């Protein structure tokens, strides 16, 4: 084989534009029989060159390649058991065809390439060689090793510029792999070659060896073979021992439902059952079935009262049940824990909310009892959250979806898709709650999560459709965003799914607010809410331009917002909105010019911006906006507030801080100067960090002006907002003393 050249093109990293061109060529050649245009040696050399190239890039600190993951045009996963399919050779495959009713088998003849995809070369019994591309990835295991055997159900074939054609697998349930490095597979091959049966005892010993090597999936397979042996079936004690071992292996493989079932199957009515109940309790804890976990751990302690591990686990369960039943959390501890591990060990609290049908948008989240402003409505652990927090810098993982033309902007968005696919594949018991979420216009087959050939069917395209409609962007700690001088890295965001929270519909003027502590989301009421009321929050911060908002909500979430702000603004001719938006852009440009390059802003500059803002203010229709936010005025009033603060003009700063509150909808008469009172219309206003900081500025300004009661009124309102925006009241006093502002 020729040496690998120094300069080469990576034929596996094409990028979305070239992928799209290849797709168009593939569609144009639909039905053509595949032709191997390169020899086996040439395919192998090209494959090894690509591996060498990506290895070199990973070692070069000056080169940063972005993973460019593409989701091709959607096709349905196979729902047919392997035994009902007809085997065909690779040479019988055709381009752009889903070979329904057929399957192929082949062996991997190279190490796997892994970057944007997992790619390897496979060869069938007739020596035909093909490029196999897996569109999904599982970073928890090594890629498919050489000398593995694969079976692909109803394979899908696409044109490829350099290789001629590829087999593309996007659904993990469409492929079965007998790994070449799996002790169970090695043992099977050995005894097939020797033409002799393997005893249950031999399988058990092989499973023990695999477990000790940390190959838990292989251990599970060996123990399964041992249980299927006739001798094991006849020997109840032996079977119970193998069930017990397989339970531990499943627990270590994070297959918790199977671990629970095996633990209970191992019970013999003796004191040995203490270990079985302990394992079942651990598995139920991992499944977040805390009541069931408590039951099994108590049984373990009945059989072995001195088991300190079981006692410790039971105490942990009791704390989780307290959280679940009462909503009483140690938020200070949670904040401390997320600094080292974002995946927190706490229970969900959701008893104050429930999912119900709405009369306008499918389903929504409703209160089950009366709640007060600031009260905790829900605290929920993320269904899936990758530890990938990024800012505005270029993403190192980009996801392109050919079905809707979307392109992700954050690495976390691509990772949450990949993680969801693997999570649903490994733990089918959790799939029901996920597949119940909205998937937009994607056409479902109705069998989501159905188990075929012992594995759950996972439709990767459905997973992405659900992700697009239900994802949240989240910081590690929302409290940090309230800092005046928040470091850039603390503003970084990831993307995640929260199951229950996903049912909350949008309103530009919502009645509850969310915050994040690690992988937990809190939802708190912004004001008093009666039982049976639908809860709403903002899908994204409402843009000042109503025309922009309408387009964004339709294109991203397929709905037309009917909140009272949008309903009011629809009564106004679009040309009025356009004129206001144009003036707002001019004000922003002028303000940025005054602030450019660290220039000192003069009071003359302030007067100029204020004059323009008053002109914009006069363009608002009083009959419509008497009790509505005037969002185009928000940016100018914030700029004027901050400019006055930097100029040490306290009176002006306070004046514009109150105007920020008015423009966000908190009322036209917020300050009663005669009676020294501050009153906010909590039902009419939009709670966010800008309003919080405006209240802080106003409080500090009133202190300087000797208006202590007004200062305390602003500070009291800011404290109430802090609890909503931070998720809890931890650190509130330090915050207002300025000790947490950096």
* Structure confidence by residue, pLDDT tens digits, 656-673: 999 999 999 999 889 988
% pLDDT > 90, the chain: 66
In contact, 560 and 403? CB cutoff 8 Å: no
**Predicted confidence band of residue 90 (pLDDT cuts 50, 70, 90):** very high
Tokens of 568: 């009011």
Residue 560 scores a pLDDT above 50: yes
**Predicted confidence band of residue 1 (pLDDT cuts 50, 70, 90):** very low
Count CB atoms within 10 A of the CB of residue 647: 16
Q: Which secondary structure element, helix H or strand E, spans residue 568, and what is its range?
A: helix 564-569
Residue 135 scores a pLDDT above 50: yes
Per-residue pLDDT at 192: 60
Residue 5 scores a pLDDT above 60: no
Count CB atoms within 10 A of the CB of residue 142: 12
- DSSP alpha helix (H) spans, 98-199: 183-194
Per-residue pLDDT at 3: 37
Q: How far is CA 292 from CA 260, 316, 379, 433, in A?
A: 11, 13, 21, 19
For residues 153-177, give the mean pLDDT: 93
Q: Which residues contact 369 (CB under 8 A, 6 or more apart)?
A: 352, 531
User: pLDDT per residue over 528-537, tens digit each?
Assistant: 999 999 999 9
Average pLDDT of the residues of the chain: 90
Per-residue pLDDT at 707: 94
User: pLDDT per residue over 677-721, tens digit each?
Assistant: 999 999 999 999 999 999 999 999 999 999 999 999 999 999 999
Residue 187 scores a pLDDT above 80: no
Q: Which of the given ranges, 47-56, 59-68, 301-310, has the highest pLDDT on average?
A: 301-310
In contact, 670 and 658? CB cutoff 8 Å: yes
Per-residue pLDDT at 4: 38
The Cα 238–Cα 265 span in angstroms is 12
The model's pTM is: 0.91
Domains of the chain by start residue, with CATH:
183-332 (1.25.40.10), 353-557 (2.170.270.10), 573-736 (1.25.40.10)
343 DSSP assignment: S
- DSSP alpha helix (H) spans, 130-177: none
For residues 337-357, give the mean pLDDT: 97
Per-residue pLDDT at 8: 53
Per-residue pLDDT at 2: 37
User: pLDDT per residue over 597-628, tens digit each?
Assistant: 677 888 889 999 999 999 999 999 999 999 99
User: pLDDT per residue over 392-438, tens digit each?
Assistant: 776 778 888 888 888 886 788 889 999 999 999 988 888 889 999 99
Residue 484 scores a pLDDT above 60: yes
The Cα 108–Cα 143 span in angstroms is 11
For residues 143-153, give the mean pLDDT: 90
29 DSSP assignment: T
Per-residue pLDDT at 184: 66
Q: Supply φ then ψ for residue 418, to 5 degrees.
A: -65, -40
For residues 151-160, give the mean pLDDT: 94
In contact, 151 and 82? CB cutoff 8 Å: yes
Among candidate residues 427, 244, 283, the one with its CA nearest the CA of residue 297: 283
Count CB atoms within 10 A of the CB of residue 240: 20
Tokens of 385: 């959250």
The Cα 707–Cα 699 span in angstroms is 9
Residue 555 scores a pLDDT above 90: no
Per-residue pLDDT at 236: 62
């Amino acid at each position: 084989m020729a040496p690998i050249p120094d300069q080469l093109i990576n034929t596996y990293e094409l990028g979305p534009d070239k992928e799209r061109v290849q797709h168009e060529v593939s569609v144009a050649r639909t039905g053509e029989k595949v032709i191997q245009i390169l020899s086996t040696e040439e395919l192998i050399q090209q494959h090894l060159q690509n591996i060498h190239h990506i290895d070199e890039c990973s070692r070069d600190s000056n080169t940063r390649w972005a993973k460019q993951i593409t989701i091709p045009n959607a096709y349905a996963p196979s729902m047919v058991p392997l035994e009902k399919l007809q085997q065909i050779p690779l040479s019988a495959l055709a381009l752009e065809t889903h070979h329904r009713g057929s399957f192929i088998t082949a062996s991997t003849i190279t190490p796997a390439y892994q970057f944007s995809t997992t790619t390897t070369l496979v060869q069938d019994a007739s020596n035909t060689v093909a490029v196999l591309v897996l569109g999904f990835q599982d970073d928890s295991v090594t890629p498919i090793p050489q000398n593995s055997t694969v079976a692909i159900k109803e394979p899908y074939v696409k044109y490829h510029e350099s290789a001629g054609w590829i087999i593309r697998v996007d659904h993990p349930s469409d492929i079965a792999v007998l790994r070449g490095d799996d002790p169970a597979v090695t043992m099977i091959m050995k005894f097939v070659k020797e033409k002799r049966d393997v005893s249950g005892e031999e399988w058990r010993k092989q499973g023990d060896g695999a477990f000790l090597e940390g190959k838990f999936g292989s251990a599970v397979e060996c123990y399964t073979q041992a249980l299927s042996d006739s001798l094991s079936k006849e020997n109840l004690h032996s079977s119970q021992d193998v069930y017990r071992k397989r339970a531990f292996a499943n627990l270590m493989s994070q297959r918790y439902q199977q671990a629970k079932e095996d633990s209970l199957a191992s019970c013999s009515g003796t004191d040995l059952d203490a270990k079985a109940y302990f394992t079942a309790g651990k598995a139920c804890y991992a499944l977040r079935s805390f009541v069931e976990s408590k039951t099994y751990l108590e049984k373990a302690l009945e059989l072995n009262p001195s088991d300190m591990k079981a006692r410790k686990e039971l105490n942990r369960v009791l704390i989780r049940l307290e959280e679940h039943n009462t909503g009483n959390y140690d938020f200070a501890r949670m904040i401390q824990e997320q600094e080292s591990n974002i995946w927190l060990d706490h229970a969900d609290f959701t008893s104050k909310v429930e999912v119900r049908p709405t009369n306008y948008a499918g389903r929504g989240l409703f209160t089950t009892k009366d709640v007060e402003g600031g009260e905790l409505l829900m605290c929920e652990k993320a269904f899936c959250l990758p530890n990938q927090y990024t800012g505005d810098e270029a993403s190192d993982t980009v996801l392109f979806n050919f079905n809707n033309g979307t392109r992700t902007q954050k690495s976390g968005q691509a990772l949450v898709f990949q993680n969801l696919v693997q999570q649903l594949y490994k733990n089918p018991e959790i799939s029901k709650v996920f597949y119940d979420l909205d998937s937009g216009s994607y056409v479902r087959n109705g069998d989501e999560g159905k188990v075929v050939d012992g594995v759950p069917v996972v439709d990767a395209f459905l997973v992405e459709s659900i992700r697009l409609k239900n994802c949240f962007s989240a910081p590690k700690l929302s409290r940090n965003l309230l800092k005046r001088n928040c470091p850039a890295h603390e503003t970084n965001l990831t993307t995640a799914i929260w199951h229950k929270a996903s049912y909350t519909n949008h309103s530009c003027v919502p009645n509850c607010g969310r915050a994040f502590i690690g992988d937990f989301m809190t939802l708190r009421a912004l004001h008093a809410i009666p039982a049976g009321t639908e809860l709403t929050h903002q899908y994204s911060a409402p843009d000042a331009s109503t025309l922009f908002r309408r387009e964004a909500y339709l294109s991203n979430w397929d709905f037309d917002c009917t909140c009272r702000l949008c309903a009011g603004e629809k009564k106004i001719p679009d040309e009025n909105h356009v004129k206001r938006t144009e003036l707002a852009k001019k004000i922003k440009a002028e303000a940025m010019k005054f602030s450019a390059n660290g220039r000192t802003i003069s009071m003359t500059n302030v007067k100029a911006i204020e004059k323009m803002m008053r002109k914009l203010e006069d363009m608002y229709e009083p009959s419509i906006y008497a009790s509505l936010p005037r969002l185009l005025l928000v940016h100018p009033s914030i700029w004027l507030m901050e400019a006055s603060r930097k100029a040490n003009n306290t009176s002006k700063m306070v004046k514009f801080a109150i105007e920020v509150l008015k423009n966000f909808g908190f009322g036209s008469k917020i300050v009663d100067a005669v009676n020294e009172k501050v009153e906010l219309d909590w039902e009419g206003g939009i709670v966010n960090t800008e309003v919080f900081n405006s209240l802080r500025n106003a409080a500090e300004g009133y202190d300087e002006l000797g208006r202590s009661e007004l200062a305390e009124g602003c500070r009291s309102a800011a404290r109430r907002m802090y609890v909503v925006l931070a998720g809890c009241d931890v650190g509130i006093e330090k915050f207002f003393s300025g000790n947490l502002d950096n």
